[in-house]
Amino acid sequence: MMEGLKIKRVSKTLNGIRIVDDVTATFLPGRITALIGPNGAGKTTLFHLITGELKADSGEIVYKGDDISKLKPYIIARRGVGRLFQDVRVFDNLTVFDNVASACFDQEVESPWYPFVKCSHLKRKIREIKDVIYSYLNFVGLSDMDNIYAGALSYGQQKLLAIARLLAGGYSLLLLDEPTAGLNPVMIKKVLEILERIVEEDKGKTIILVEHNMSAVTEVADWVYFMNEGKIAFFGRTDHVLGDKEVREIYLGM
Amino acid sequence: MNYILHLLIMIGIYLVLSYGLNLVVGFGGLLSLCYAVFYGIGAYASTLLMVKVGISFIPAVLLGIVIAAIFAFLIGVPALRFRGDSFVLVTLGIQMIVFTILYNWVDLTRGPYGIPGIPRPVVAGYEITSLYEYLILVGVILLFSLSVLFILYNAPFGLALKALRDDEMAAEGLGKSPVHMFLYAFVISAVFASTAGSLYAAYVTYIDPTSFTLDESIFLLAILLVGGAGNRIGPFVGTVFMILLPEALRFLGLPDTVAPNVRQMIYGLTLIVLMFLRPQGLAGEYRVK
Ligand SMILES: Nc1ncnc2c1ncn2[C@@H]1O[C@H](COP(=O)(O)OP(=O)(O)OP(=O)(O)O)[C@@H](O)[C@H]1O
Ligand SMILES: [Mg+2]
């Protein structure tokens, strides 16, 4: 049985404009699939539809066999769908440490009675996640800024923090909206490496990569969807799609 | 001396209120203008239970808490569909409705005549009468309230609320349910408002609806904005400042004919200057928007 994410004939109209137009796509686990296309193509909107921020007008979004298109965003997240936002969205008034910590507790631990009825569990849990949090902060090079408010970080640092927060959440489907934009070459390399490692180590994990950085796409994605004006225009192996005449004209300017 | 004891008792009651409200305003980032509703419900519920039903102080306080929590749930469910300015307006509307009910349901609340002669609290067979005894009672309840609230502030619960406050979309994307979390905060804060209301009624032994008006809700919100919301020190600083400043202004030696008005103006002016100098509050790190 094939799991992963299946988008079936999904459409969305906003202010009279069809932003996502009859999109059908499958994203298989155990690999990184890229989703590319010009500015305004509808890539971010498609992510909004998958995470439930927006509701599709028609069509189905099936993840691990269930239609998630009508669920609330927090339920979809609890089903394992995690997202890196194009506009980063760190928690400005929380410390760097707390930003990552906020991804580490489930709804039971976050209930108001948990610290009273499961006090010793909570203490142990907090000790355990501390190491996990620092390992992710180390990975993105922010561990000595653990006590700084996230709002005071640079854009690139915020992006790294959002990546650490997402990874700490342990999601099985990662929707990454331009993870390399704003990062320096060394960090881009590290982030791409960990993405590859994630799908290699756990064949149940699915990664969708929205990127305008074509060298990143060629490096980690074997398969690419090309989206234009709300539609999926092409799907194929990366070299094939990037070599296509129309893609080169519309998108790459060659 | 009695004057100082009285001020300490009032500060204690307002600390229970402001630390409770902090959960909604500071952690949840929701500017509620109906907190005095739950303060009033606590005061009226425990008073009526003591006066009309004849049960004793502690059970009356506890039942008052249950009643206030039920009201907070019923009010919170519709109100928490809104955010930002709309939430402020909705809670303002709720405050006005509940005040009107307290004022006009004369059969139950005696409306504007108020309820005089509220019995003094009897705790474990011991009647509390002197100011010292009241101070101890308020102090014990304050300590208990703070120990519960500080655990919540520090728990993953508090962290999740702050995450939702800073960016609801991102926090929901991490699996946090805004509706559930905000509703928990709203109901829990009402529990402490109700406790404070019962204490207040038992202390002054007379209540009427004018203690639980929109003005009171604004005052409670101002405590947090002045002191700083979302941490453990802000509500303390705000409460002490807001209660002691008007008292301090009494000692200015102003001529009697203009004194009250001038005091009000200085009070208002101080708040304005403060917001210019420290928009996040005296001891705050987070600026309520
Ligand atoms: N809420 C909205 N109401 C109306 N139009 C919208 C709304 N949100 C997005 N759009 C429009 O939808 C189109 C697609 O936007 P989207 O953000 O999905 O593009 P994108 O492919 O992510 O582009 P980019 O590469 O620049 O990030 C844009 O033309 C945008 O103006
Ligand atoms: Mg986009």
H helical segments located in B173-213: 178-204
Closest chain B C-alpha to A173 CA, distance in angstroms: 12
Give the pair of three-digit tokens for residue B79: 């109100």
Ligand 1 centroid to A54 CA: how many Å?
12
Nearest chain B Cα to A86, which residue? B170
End-to-end alpha carbon distance in chain B: 40
Q: Where are the domains of chain B?
A: 2-213
- The answer to whether residues A161 and A94 touch, using CB atoms and an 8 Å cutoff, is no
| Chain B residues whose beta carbon lies within 8 Å of the beta carbon of residue A112 | 152, 155, 157, 184, 188
Q: Go through the domains of chain A in sequence order and give each one's CATH number.
A: 5-90+154-250 (3.40.50.300), 92-152 (no CATH)
Closest chain B C-alpha to A140 CA, distance in angstroms: 19
Closest CA to B217 of B198, B190, B181: B190
Between CA A105 and CA B156 the distance in angstroms is 7
Give the pair of three-digit tokens for residue B175: 């699996």
Look at residue B125 in the predicted model and tell me its pLDDT: 85
pLDDT in tens, B106-155: 888 898 898 998 999 998 889 998 999 999 999 999 999 999 999 999 99
Angle at B56 between CA B122 and CA B114, to 5 degrees: 95
DSSP string, B15-72: HHHHHHHHIIIIIS----S-HHHHHHHHHHHHHHIIIII---HHHHHHHHHHHHHHHH
Strand-pair partners of A82: A174
Q: Which residues of A219-229 are buried (b: 16+ CB within 10 A; e: fewer)?
A: bbbebbbbbbe
Among partner residues B157, B173, B188, which is closest to A110 by beta-carbon distance? Answer: B157
Give the pair of three-digit tokens for residue A120: 């010793």
Q: Do the Cβ atoms of A85 and B172 come within 8 Å? A: no
Q: Do the Cβ atoms of B174 and A107 come within 8 Å? A: no
Q: What is the mean pLDDT of residues B202-223?
A: 93
Chain A / chain B CB contacts < 8 angstroms: 95
Strand-pair partners of A83: A175
Among partner residues B151, B159, B286, which is closest to A101 by beta-carbon distance? Answer: B159
> Where are the extended beta strands (E) located within A15-107?
17-27, 31-36, 58-63, 66-67, 81-84
Confidence of residue B269 (pLDDT cuts 50, 70, 90): confident
Q: Which atom of ligand 1 is nearest to the CA of A38?
A: 25
Higher pLDDT, A74 or B106: A74
Would you call A143 an interface residue with chain B, using a CB distance cutoff of 8 Å?
no
Look at residue B257 in the predicted model and tell me its pLDDT: 80
Q: For helices B131-154 and B178-204, what crossing angle results, to 10°?
A: 170
Token pair 């959440």 in the structure block, residue: A169
User: pTM for the full model?
Assistant: 0.93
**ipTM for the complex shown:** 0.93
Ligand 1 centroid to B91 CA: how many Å?
34
Confidence of residue B275 (pLDDT cuts 50, 70, 90): confident
What size, in residues, is chain A?
254
Ligand 2 centroid to A45 CA: how many Å?
7
> By percentage, how much of chain A surpasses pLDDT 70?
99
Confidence of residue A1 (pLDDT cuts 50, 70, 90): very low
Closest CA to B86 of B281, B78, B18: B78
Among partner residues B151, B174, B188, which is closest to A102 by beta-carbon distance? Answer: B174
pLDDT in tens, B55-81: 999 999 999 999 999 999 999 999 999
Q: What is the mean pLDDT of residues B31-35?
A: 95
Look at residue A152 in the predicted model and tell me its pLDDT: 94
Compute the Cα dihedral for B13, B18, B19, B21 and give only its sign.
Answer: positive
Ligand 1 centroid to A164 CA: how many Å?
26
- Mutation site, B166, B288, B289, interface A, largest A CB count within 10 A: B166
Q: Do the Cβ atoms of B169 and A112 come within 8 Å? A: no
pLDDT in tens, A2-38: 579 999 999 999 999 999 999 999 999 999 999 999 9
Dihedral of CA atoms B155, B158, B163, B164 in degrees, nearest 10, equals 140
Q: At residue B232, does pLDDT exceed 80?
A: yes
Closest CA to B122 of B114, B133, B113, B111: B133
3-state DSSP assignment of residue B221: helix
- The answer to whether residues B39 and B194 touch, using CB atoms and an 8 Å cutoff, is yes
DSSP A140: T
Give the pair of three-digit tokens for residue B97: 């409705």
Test site for ligand 1: of A14, A19, A84, A211, most ligand atoms within 8 A of the Cβ: A19
Look at residue B181 in the predicted model and tell me its pLDDT: 98
Between CA B167 and CA B176 the distance in angstroms is 11
3-state DSSP assignment of residue B286: strand
- Computed on alpha carbons and rounded to an integer, the radius of gyration of chain B in Å comes to 19
DSSP A111: S
| Chain A residues whose beta carbon lies within 8 Å of the beta carbon of residue B171 | 91, 102
Q: Whose CA is nearest to atom 6 of ligand 1?
A: A14
Between CA B182 and CA B164 the distance in angstroms is 9
Ligand that lies nearest to the alpha carbon of residue A228, given by its number in the listed order: 1
